[in-house]
Amino acid sequence: MLAIYRKEMRSYFINPIGYVYLGVFLVFSALLFCYTTLNAGTYSTSTYFTFLIISFVILIPILTMRLFAEERKLRTEQLLLTAPVTITGMVLGKYLAALTIYVGGILVSCVNFIPLYIIGAAERAGEDMSLTHIGPVTGEIVGSLFAVILLGAALIAVGTLISALTENQLSAAIITIGVIAVMILLNVFNRLTDSDGQPLIGSYAVRFVLDWISVMSRFGNFSNGIFDYAALFYYLSITFVFLFLTVRVYEKRRWG
């Protein structure tokens, strides 16, 4: 597993893909941050994180599209599958490599918060701090970061499965974009209202189910700085289920 993990990490950086992902992610997150907080004159980061998550529709497929599709196309999967490595080990090695790049990007993007804290500190100087809190709320930021990482872990697992099902990077990417878009945007449909302010989806039951499926709706508590065990369990379950299915895909192919 470690050998495969290391190989995948290397391949992110000997191919342009790792640089493309990190470059696009960091530039985008920096611009987004300026626009949603500094430019908007607010300490709230919730808009920033919301848009960041929407950007994963495009960014996560970049990370996951080649994981298995490329191996299948070049027939190198035969090497991995005839080596003394379990299929679970192979899937985990690849998954963890993608996750590492993803988490790395998130952590580096934390430099975005530095100016917010500096401005906060400057504004606090000379103010009476006993009544109001001025500056960013660290609990919200840490909670949101944690949730974004969990959410990303789940979406990468989805992308991993789709990559294992296809033989072509491009089709893997397109299908992943579609699936992730649905998973994220379901929540948006729920919020849509008509001109009278009534929800567009009338049935409460339908909204409840859509909300339950949507990966976005679980995000709320974390972004308020509350540690939501249910959401944690939900994200980890999605991750587990999709990785498990990826392993099954390979088992199935052997028996096919």
Partner 1 sequence: MIRIEHLVKNYGANCAVDDISFEVGEGEIVGLLGPNGAGKSTTMNILTGYLSSTSGKATVAGIDILSDPLGAKKLIGYLPEQPPLYLDMTVEEYLNFNYELKGCKLDRVPHLEQICDTVRIRDVYRRVIRNLSKGYRQRVGIAQALVGNPKVIIFDEPTVGLDPKQIIEIRNLIRSLGKEHTVILSTHILQEVQAVCDRIVIINKGKIVANEKTENISNAVEQSRRFNARICGPQKEVLAALRGMSGVAYAEALAERDGDAFTYTVESERGVDIRKKLFYLLAERGWALVGLESLGMNLEDIFISVVDQSEEKKTRAARGERRRRGADRTSAEREIGAGLYEDAKRQREEAAAREPDDEE
Q: What residue ranges bind partner 1 (CB under 8 A)?
A: 2-4, 6-7, 10-11, 14-15, 74-86, 254-256
**Nearer residue to partner 1 within complex by CB, 55 or 100:** 100
For residue 1, the minimal CB distance to partner 1 (Å) is 10
CB of 109 or CB of 169, closer to partner 1: 169
Shortest reach from residue 72's CB to partner 1, in Å: 11
Minimum distance from CB of 177 to partner 1 (Å)? 25
Nearer to partner 1, 86 or 138 (CB): 86
Integer Cα distance of 242 and 155 in angstroms: 9
Both tokens of 127, joined, read 């103010």
For 149, the enclosing helix (H) or strand (E) is: helix 138-165
Q: Which is nearer to partner 1, 84 or 126 (CB)?
A: 84
Region of residue 17 (left: phi > 0; alpha: psi -120 to 50; beta: else): alpha
Taking the least distance from each CB to partner 1, the nearer of 41 and 256 is: 256
**Shortest Å, Cβ 173 to partner 1:** 19
CA 107/CA 175 separation, integer angstroms: 27
CB of 89 to partner 1, least distance (A): 10
- In the bound state with partner 1, the residue whose beta carbon lies nearer, of 79 and 213, is 79
Q: Can you tell me which residue has the tokens 């878009």? A: 181
- What gap in Å lies between CA 250 and CA 42, rounded to an integer? 49
Quick one: the chain helix, strand, coil %, rounded to 5?
80, 0, 20
Query: Please, which residue, 10 or 133, has the CB nearer to partner 1?
Result: 10
